[in-house]
Structure 1
């Protein structure tokens, strides 16, 4: 079993908006996340979204991936809306 916290250094870009249960949620989906994290369960990380620091959990999408919530408050800070692309950098895995 892996020990945490563990440093990471991965960056990806994705549009805000993940379809969950036929609704668009204000999240970004990480490509190949299950293979990367080694689990389909929630994973807590330290990250930046367009350079804004964030500590949050990647949640399972229900379709075999993970998504990171982008709150209305964070979207306002970023000046982004649903459909806009953000850059996510993961620097540490906490769980």
Structure 2
């Protein structure tokens, strides 16, 4: 008898979360943004791969659990250069458009 495989969707799932928040520099990541409401929208406090835009620039990244509720979005230096923002306190607008995992 052949093995039975469960069908797990690997297709991106749409998301609709827009947040404007300050860049932070502290903790586990050099540069990151706390994404309020992420745990409620995603239905989990675990790491989740997402895609969307930051100040209009496309990105794909893993939202990391903070342990306190919302997720942290680590900002890579290339994305900071693209947005022209990397200092703590500078506001960025994040639009989460799809869940990749």
TM-score, normalised relative to structure 1: 0.83
Helix, strand or coil at the partner of 2:80: helix
5+ unaligned residues in a row in structure 1: which ranges? none
Per the TM alignment, residue 32 of structure 1 is displaced from its structure 2 partner at its CA by: 1.9
Please, what is the CA RMSD of the aligned residues?
Answer: 2.2
5+ unaligned residues in a row in structure 2: which ranges? 1-7
Relative to 1, partners in 2 of residues 1:18 and 1:31: Cα closer, same or farther, differing over 3 Å?
farther
1:32 matched residue in structure 2:
37
1:56 matched residue in structure 2:
61
TM-score, normalised relative to structure 2: 0.79
The CA distance in 2 between the partners of 1:83 and 1:67, in whole Å, is 15
Larger radius of gyration: 2
Aligned residue pairs total 93
Q: Quick check: 1:8–1:93 contact (8 Å CA) kept in 2?
A: yes
Greater shift in the superposed pair: 44-53 or 62-71: 62-71
